Structure 1
Amino acid sequence: MSKLGTGALFPSKLQTFSARPSTMFGLLPTAVSLAVGLLGASVPVSAAPLAGPTVKLDSATVTGTSLLGIDRFYGIPFAEPPTGNNRFRLPVPHPAYNTSFSATSMGPGCPQQEIDLPLPAGLPADVVDLLLNTVFTTIFPDDEDCLTINVVRPAGTAPGAKLPVVAWIFGGGFELGSPQMYDGGSIVSRSVALGEPVIYVSMNYRVTGECSSPFTNAGREMRALIVTQCLAFGFLASQEVKDAGVGNLGLQDQREALRWIQKYIGAFGGDPTKVTIWGESAGAISVSLQMLANGGNTEGLFRAGFMESGSPIPVGDITNGQKYYDAIVKQTGCSGSADTLQCLREVPYTQLKAAVDASPGIFSYQSLNLAWLPRTDGVFLTDHPQKLVQQGKIAKIPIVSGDCDDEGTLFSLSTLNVTTEAQIRQYFQTEFLTTISTTGLDSILSAYPQNLLAGSPYDTGILNALSPQFKRIASFQGDAVFQAPRRFFFENILGGGNANVWGFLSKRFKAVPILGSFHASDILNVYGGGEMADYLINFTNNLDPNGKGKTITWPKYTTASPTLLTFQDGLIPQTLSKDDFRADAMKQITQVLLDNPV
């Protein structure tokens, strides 16, 4: 077997890698030479914290921690626990705080289940380490009572300071993640250094799961990477869910957290009129969907959006998830119930967990055709997201949005057994686009041919070809779920009169074998102390990413000049490029997905 990166084909058999860091972004030492400079900025120090700062919320005194110029208030409940009969229901706002409490540690992540990320045998250890320090890690502890919010501010910020607020929504395919994975102190510290101080807020929200998992670590020698997949609690989908008006609960949780910010951020010194919502992957998709809620009415909850690898996606009605719902109902013994949704609220946890374990996850064979994700529910989303974009039912606010160059590589590792033209046709028809016509399928296969030179990771020639179809599938998935929706988003909002749009492309880590500039690698450019943090801070303060700390002027994206700020490796870290790559292919794939939403 040849080494990775030689262009030779590799067997389709995958190993599952199992190791787990306790947190991320430098909280554990990393051997990744490519990322060491970025990760170091967020390594915590062991100095003793100062006396805790306090804030007054209603009649309660809330005590946080202060260290190295940063005040932190962690684990504040913003909604009633979504437990018992509140399971599968809209979030209930937290009542007035009337008992003082300590807010010195983050609340548990919403319950999550371990799954295995399949990686090819022989993947270099540094690449696995890099993945361990970006997005794929297990978060503990977890609990069904998880709707908490965290506030990080410059030390000593007084009520009435009216600092701009950046509200982080974590990603993870609507299946995994937690605020515990990210250190907002690095953002706040950098904002102070720039003279553009901000308050950082991060929120929990129900992803797709509820379960508990034992701590598992098989050792680095086994190269086992355990990640988290959550079950259906945040995005249960069916006709029953639609009829009850309880779809997209994860998005509703986010909305409730944003309402909490409006009510209480002033006590921490924040300005509720200057909130920017920011997310990556599912978090970025969430930002875009918050822009689509209520016909584009923000309710005054935010004034700008910053999106990394996520735009309104080609999803259809919530009843498209019926088969997954029916499977859970059958396996839990709720089939005979007159109210299957209520039965699922009451079913014992262990029984429910056993039923949903079989749900396909983000790294399963069907990959980005997720079982549980936001869909049109008639309440939060009144139509398919991309149709709402076309109709102009979207908040006209300043936005920044962009993607990594090789978004699809990581999600294509589970399809290495697809090696022939006949097999890829079958894959699309049975796993990814089950309603696609022969004409539509021909269009996609023509737009994304079996050509190693055109596949992803891009610009790597014949290298990184794990299978005859790997680079082809990776190119399709990256464009279908990320690049094409982002370009469609831009074209429509510009046509609708939104003149304040900035776009970017991250081509960092291009030399990573197999994966290239993989999905989530741009997170290191923000939390790791990179230039993106400066652009984010400027944008939060001034609704323009340009300003202090910039190394290149970032022009607005326009129809006449669709320019992307491009982050790249080498001596010239940033440049400007034109957003015209794979133009015909993306037009075809956009139309096919509009006709065949998942």
Structure 2
Amino acid sequence: MIVRVFLACLAAGGMAFGTPTSRATAPMVTLDSATFTGVASGSINLFRGIPFAQPPTGNLRFNLPKPIQSYNGSYSATSFGNACPQQAIQLPASNLLSENATYYLNTLFGPLANPISEDCLNLDVWTPATVTPTSKLPVVVWIFGGGFETGGTSSYNGSAIVQSSIDLDKPVILVSMNYRLSAWGFLASSEVKAAGVANLGLQDQREALRWVQKYITAFGGDPSKVTIWGQSSGAMSVAMQMLANGGNTEGLFRGAFMQSGSPLPVGDITHGQVYYDSIVAATGCSGASDTLACLREVPPATLQEAVDATPNFFSYQSLKFAYVPRVDGVFLTDTPQNLVLEGRVANIPFVTGDCDDEGTAFSLTSLNITTDSEVYTYVEQNYFPEATRSEINGLLSIYTANLTTGSPYDTGTLNGLTPQYKRIASLQGDLIFQAPRRFFLQNRSRFQNTWSFLSKRLKTFTDVGSAHGTDILNIWHGEELTTYLVQFANDLNPNGDANLLTWPQYTMSSPHLMTFLDGPTPLAITQDTYRADGFTYLTSLSLKYHPL
């Protein structure tokens, strides 16, 4: 029953924006020579679909975002803007899955309802209704997740965050932006690198942050008090923004808050060459002297079909992302983990955390793997093709097929969909989420204020446990994590006056975790020392081989 209640709430409030109860007077804001009219909803004003860059269409497809020089005229900011093109994904389907697991997948990873178009670089702003241009409120900028392949701002109710901040008497302004996804935002190849147009999704985010600096004062925000916050690939994006330009924030943000995402073990941009070549061939651009220029002229439907034919995060290769931020020599001058080791990281306070069973949902597409030899082949071919037999055997000697040590963790022999499912879920979740988070903290907690968390809620959720995304309930419905976020945005410290458990800083000597639990004791302080051998081994392989 608790799972059904959770998912019903998630669908109703956290992941879908309902129709607001409007007041008689619609809010208005002036930007340059233009007037934007938004929506009044109780104690909150919201402005939707504001363009922050020129449409990335025509010659601007696969090109850097171009800022809008000046606004003129009148704009209706009452409806969400277009979401960016999405890569089609096929959700895992198996007669082995429970009804709850299937419902979870459809709720968190189902398609968007709002319009989709390449003309999609727009953002939304939520403010307390009482703000004025002199209010100087802290600003939280939300970057949504979706594996860098799907997602949009309309899936999240920013009013919940702003209302919680009002109730805490620590009001904030929330901004969320759409950014280019999949091949449109993360096309990677030698051609893309040579043209200087890599990591466009991150560049879009950066452009939105520049827009905040220029215009947020008109909404009552303080451009010197910006916190960037994301979940999943949104959190990975936050981490990449901290590493961009060698750690130079350009004054765009002063704090970071990450849910299930850290500096990824990605390699050079040429790691995406195979997907670029596939799209070029599928669109008829193979014979062009300039294949990138040819792709800019391909009809949208043709390009969509070609992109959809490439792997997604629910393909067999799972978290071996086809489209992901990669080293381009400009935005990311080295691998993210090398940049962390070299200290080329924004020196700002940050919060980062994970769900306990990050890898379960993404291991539902490899249920045909049932033997030790098949696991060996999958790990070698998918993540570490250059590793030695000894190295892979060493990894698998740590991540064994013992059901009692696999993910969902702490569930004994339960949830063993196949003899190897919990093993693969443990390995993938640690490789992409948990080990990178601990690596980040171990290398940065000596130099900047850091806090970390672990969500073990919904542990009894059949098949997937405390799966990726289950922590959304903790924050989009005014739960404890919302309070910690609001206090962090105000004071660069998640602690405050609220009657919550004090969240200690993370240090090498005391790697504290704020742990979210089911039951009568919802919060506890635990130590970030679990699966140390596995994390260390995965990190060493990642630093050597850069599996993504």
**TM-score grouping bracket, smaller chain normalisation:** over 0.9
Verify: 1:400 aligned to 2:351, yes or no: yes
Task: Name the structure 2 match of 1:19.
Answer: none
1:522 corresponds to which letter in structure 2?
A: D
Relative distance call for 1:425 and 1:146 in structure 2 (3 A) is same
Task: Name the structure 1 match of 2:396.
Answer: 445
Task: Name the structure 1 match of 2:526.
Answer: 577
1:40 CA drift (Å): 6.6
Task: Name the structure 2 match of 1:468.
Answer: 419
Task: Name the structure 2 match of 1:165.
Answer: 139
Select 1:78's aligned residue among 28, 48, 52.
52
1:145 corresponds to which letter in structure 2?
A: D
Name the SS for the 1:233 alignment partner. Answer: helix
1:534 corresponds to which letter in structure 2?
A: T
1:550 CA drift (Å): 4.1
For structure 1, the residue ranges without an aligned partner over 5 or more in a row are 1-29, 209-231
Relative distance call for 1:286 and 1:510 in structure 2 (3 A) is same
1:135 CA drift (Å): 4.7
Relative distance call for 1:483 and 1:559 in structure 2 (3 A) is same
Give the 5 Å matches for 1:106-125.
106-121=80-95, 123-125=97-99
1:553 corresponds to which letter in structure 2?
A: T
1:506 CA drift (Å): 0.2
Q: How many residues align?
A: 544
Structure 1, 458-467 or 441-450: larger mean CA deviation: 441-450
Select 1:535's aligned residue among 467, 484, 497.
484
For 1:322 and 1:466, locate their aligned partners in 2 and report how far apart those are by CA, in whole Å.
35
Name the SS for the 2:126 alignment partner. Answer: strand
Task: Name the structure 2 match of 1:212.
Answer: none
Spell out, residue by residue over 1:30-72, the C-alpha distance to the aligned partner (whole angstroms, 9 max, x if none): 9813455677766846634432111110011111110111100
2:38 corresponds to which letter in structure 1?
A: G
Structure 1, 437-446 or 270-279: larger mean CA deviation: 437-446
Task: Name the structure 2 match of 1:214.
Answer: none
Normalized per residue, the structure richer in helix is 2
Name the SS for the 1:444 alignment partner. Answer: helix
Name the SS for the 2:524 alignment partner. Answer: strand
For 1:540 and 1:272, locate their aligned partners in 2 and report how far apart those are by CA, in whole Å.
12
Structure 1, 469-478 or 441-450: larger mean CA deviation: 441-450
Select 2:290's aligned residue among 339, 343, 347.
339
Q: Is the 8 A contact 1:32 1:130 kept in 2?
A: no
1:69 corresponds to which letter in structure 2?
A: S
Structure 1, 354-363 or 566-575: larger mean CA deviation: 354-363
Relative distance call for 1:58 and 1:48 in structure 2 (3 A) is closer
Task: Name the structure 2 match of 1:33.
Answer: 5
Task: Name the structure 2 match of 1:138.
Answer: 112
Structure 1, 136-145 or 43-52: larger mean CA deviation: 43-52
For 2:21 and 2:541, locate their aligned partners in 1 and report how far apart those are by CA, in whole Å.
56
Task: Name the structure 1 match of 2:377.
Answer: 426
Q: Is the 8 A contact 1:50 1:67 kept in 2?
A: no
For 1:124 and 1:473, locate their aligned partners in 2 and report how far apart those are by CA, in whole Å.
19
Select 2:410's aligned residue among 437, 443, 459.
459
Q: Is the 8 A contact 1:316 1:375 kept in 2?
A: yes
Q: CA RMSD in A?
A: 1.6
Relative distance call for 1:34 and 1:52 in structure 2 (3 A) is closer
Name the SS for the 1:350 alignment partner. Answer: helix
For 1:34 and 1:514, locate their aligned partners in 2 and report how far apart those are by CA, in whole Å.
16
Name the SS for the 1:560 alignment partner. Answer: coil
Spell out, residue by residue over 1:213-256, the C-alpha distance to the aligned partner (whole angstroms, 9 max, x if none): xxxxxxxxxxxxxxxxxxx1100000000011110000000000
For 1:349 and 1:585, locate their aligned partners in 2 and report how far apart those are by CA, in whole Å.
44
1:531 corresponds to which letter in structure 2?
A: E
1:438 CA drift (Å): 1.4
1:328 CA drift (Å): 1.1
For 1:384 and 1:47, locate their aligned partners in 2 and report how far apart those are by CA, in whole Å.
47
1:33 corresponds to which letter in structure 2?
A: V
1:562 corresponds to which letter in structure 2?
A: P
1:445 CA drift (Å): 0.7
Select 1:554's aligned residue among 499, 503, 507.
503
Q: Is the 8 A contact 1:53 1:71 kept in 2?
A: yes
Q: Is the 8 A contact 1:531 1:550 kept in 2?
A: no
For 1:91 and 1:405, locate their aligned partners in 2 and report how far apart those are by CA, in whole Å.
37
For 2:513 and 2:409, locate their aligned partners in 1 and report how far apart those are by CA, in whole Å.
17
Q: Is the 8 A contact 1:311 1:486 kept in 2?
A: yes
For 2:383 and 2:368, locate their aligned partners in 1 and report how far apart those are by CA, in whole Å.
15
1:334 corresponds to which letter in structure 2?
A: C
Structure 1, 44-53 or 34-43: larger mean CA deviation: 34-43
For structure 2, the residue ranges without an aligned partner over 5 or more in a row are none
For 1:405 and 1:471, locate their aligned partners in 2 and report how far apart those are by CA, in whole Å.
13
Structure 1, 437-446 or 245-254: larger mean CA deviation: 437-446
Spell out, residue by residue over 1:99-120, the C-alpha distance to the aligned partner (whole angstroms, 9 max, x if none): 1211111101101243221133
Name the SS for the 2:422 alignment partner. Answer: helix
For 1:136 and 1:502, locate their aligned partners in 2 and report how far apart those are by CA, in whole Å.
32
Task: Name the structure 1 match of 2:67.
Answer: 93
Verify: 1:285 aligned to 2:259, yes or no: no
1:432 corresponds to which letter in structure 2?
A: Y
Q: Is the 8 A contact 2:22 2:39 kept in 1?
A: no
Relative distance call for 1:245 and 1:295 in structure 2 (3 A) is same
For 2:158 and 2:110, locate their aligned partners in 1 and report how far apart those are by CA, in whole Å.
18
1:529 CA drift (Å): 2.0
Verify: 1:544 aligned to 2:493, yes or no: yes
Relative distance call for 1:549 and 1:107 in structure 2 (3 A) is same
1:428 CA drift (Å): 1.4
Q: Percent of aligned pairs with the same residue? A: 55
Name the SS for the 2:525 alignment partner. Answer: strand
For 2:330 and 2:253, locate their aligned partners in 1 and report how far apart those are by CA, in whole Å.
20
Task: Name the structure 2 match of 1:102.
Answer: 76
Tell me the TM-score normalised to structure 2 length. 0.97
Verify: 1:588 aligned to 2:532, yes or no: no
Relative distance call for 1:252 and 1:422 in structure 2 (3 A) is same
Give the 5 Å matches for 1:114-513.
114-121=88-95, 123-208=97-182, 232-495=183-446, 497-498=447-448, 500-513=449-462
Tell me the TM-score normalised to structure 1 length. 0.89
Relative distance call for 1:545 and 1:46 in structure 2 (3 A) is closer
Q: Is the 8 A contact 2:84 2:120 kept in 1?
A: yes
Task: Name the structure 2 match of 1:225.
Answer: none
For 2:10 and 2:296, locate their aligned partners in 1 and report how far apart those are by CA, in whole Å.
44
2:5 corresponds to which letter in structure 1?
A: S
Name the SS for the 2:72 alignment partner. Answer: coil
